[in-house]
Amino acid sequence: MPVSLDNLLVVGISSRALFDLETEEAIFRTQGLDAYRQHQIDNEHEILKLGAGFALVKALLRLNALTENRRFVEVVIMSRNSSETSLRIFNSIKHYGLDITRAVLSGGASLTPYLRAFNVSLFLSLHEEDVQASIDAGVAAAILYQKPENALAELDQIRIAFDGDAVIFSDESEQIFQAQGIEAFERHERENALKPLPEGPFARLLKALSYIQTHFRAPDGRAAPIRTALVTARSSPAHERVIRTLRAWDVAIDETFFMGGVGKSEVLAAFRPHIFFDDQPGHCDRAAPLVQTGRVPVRSAPGAKTPDILPANG
């Protein structure tokens, strides 16, 4: 009987996001595919350095070791590499002791059709085109910034921080703010305070994390191995709709910060997440030197075409 991934948190990650492949990417861009292929074959026993998504992946996989006969997380390597250039990736996975057994090696073709096939809940990559296509397909995805110096520090908990609008929630209210200003936005939120916000691209991921938390939350008050935070530019009176929405979803976020326009970076540095997801490039640029950051692109307008760029190193 085939294995089902339906009730698992499935993270798809590109090889370049899991490992540091910037030298190889430069070879591909400047010398072409043949030079890249030969470099990977010649160096397939050279272990790769850690990439921007490594700490998060390692921490999430650790959840599977906390209970007997129960898995919560699966990680799938999703790369535009071909199988002949992938041995270095698998050798590095084995070297670091990562429990990763599944891979999509598309040989330059788009990865998007395989996201649903593997029930991917979150896709992480350094290639914007693949991330954009994932978001347009309705799958949570983020473009990873290069890791900050402290990204690989060991933490007792998995810590994940989210922006609100256009990430956990839809960008419906954000569009009102952008088009009509803060007064119209606050009026809209007051008038719709009892109406739950529509789901954004990361709502499914947040709900999956919340479900895992409930499994580990002990009656004696011991902390769950996952801790979440909402770090949003919203403030009163726009806070009420957020609180009521999470209540309607039966989701509890551990820490919530209504910033009201104050910069997020210092709060994020204090929370120390394995990753922070935000849709605003400015917020991401300021956070990235302090904490691992993933930018969530806005969903493309209907009919928009994603450029057909085929990185070898995705």
Confidence of residue 308 (pLDDT cuts 50, 70, 90): very low
> 3-state DSSP call for residue 88?
helix
Confidence of residue 224 (pLDDT cuts 50, 70, 90): confident
Distance CA 158, CA 138 (A): 25
Q: What pLDDT, on a 0 to 100 scale, did the predictor assign at position 302?
A: 66
Confidence of residue 26 (pLDDT cuts 50, 70, 90): very high
pLDDT mean across residues, the chain: 89
Q: What pLDDT, on a 0 to 100 scale, did the predictor assign at position 7?
A: 77
State percent of the chain over pLDDT 70.
Answer: 92
Q: What is the pLDDT of residues 167-191, one digit of tens each?
A: 999 998 888 888 888 888 888 889 8
Q: What pLDDT, on a 0 to 100 scale, did the predictor assign at position 314?
A: 60
Compute CA distances 219 → 33, 163, 181, 215, 254, whole Å.
Answer: 56, 30, 46, 11, 17
Q: Which residues pair with 258 in a beta bridge?
A: 232
Q: What is the pLDDT of residues 135-157, one digit of tens each?
A: 999 999 999 999 888 765 677 78
Q: What pLDDT, on a 0 to 100 scale, did the predictor assign at position 303?
A: 58
Q: What pLDDT, on a 0 to 100 scale, did the predictor assign at position 313?
A: 59
Residue 282 pLDDT > 90, yes or no?
yes
Query: Average of pLDDT values for 36-47?
Result: 92
Structure tokens, 301: 């307008």
Residue of 42, 37, 296, 12 lying closest to 169 (CA atoms): 296
Confidence of residue 289 (pLDDT cuts 50, 70, 90): very high
Contact 48, 17 (CB under 8 A): no
- Show the CA angle centred on residue 95, arms to residues 150 and 62, nearest 5°: 60
Looking at residue 84, the DSSP 8-state letter turns out to be G
**Torsion, CA 202, CA 104, CA 39, CA 44, rounded to 10:** 100
Q: Which positions ≥6 away from 187 have C-beta within 8 Å? A: none
Amino acid at the residue 141: A
Q: What pLDDT, on a 0 to 100 scale, did the predictor assign at position 19?
A: 96
Q: Say what angle helices 172-180 and 182-191 make with each other, to 10 degrees.
A: 140
* CATH number, domain 158-291: 3.40.50
> 3-state DSSP call for residue 142?
strand
Domains of the chain, residue spans: 9-144, 158-291
Compute CA distances 127 → 27, 78, 261, 308, whole Å.
Answer: 16, 12, 30, 12
State percent of the chain over pLDDT 90.
Answer: 66
Same fold, 9-144 and 158-291: yes
Q: What is the pLDDT of residues 231-266, one digit of tens each?
A: 999 988 889 999 999 999 999 899 999 998 899 999
Tell me the whole-structure pTM to 2 decimals.
Answer: 0.91
Q: What pLDDT, on a 0 to 100 scale, did the predictor assign at position 219?
A: 60
* Residues acting as catalytic residues: 163
Query: Average of pLDDT values for 9-32?
Result: 93
* CATH number, domain 9-144: 3.40.50.1000
Distance CA 10, CA 6 (A): 9
Residue 217 pLDDT > 90, yes or no?
no
Structure tokens, 26: 């430069």
Structure tokens, 187: 């009026």
Query: Average of pLDDT values for 183-208?
Result: 92
Q: What pLDDT, on a 0 to 100 scale, did the predictor assign at position 60?
A: 94
Query: Average of pLDDT values for 127-133?
Result: 94
- Strands in 255-258's sheet, in edge-to-edge order, are 102-105, 73-79, 9-13, 122-125, 141-144, 293-295, 275-278, 158-162, 226-232, 255-258
Distance CA 292, CA 308 (A): 28
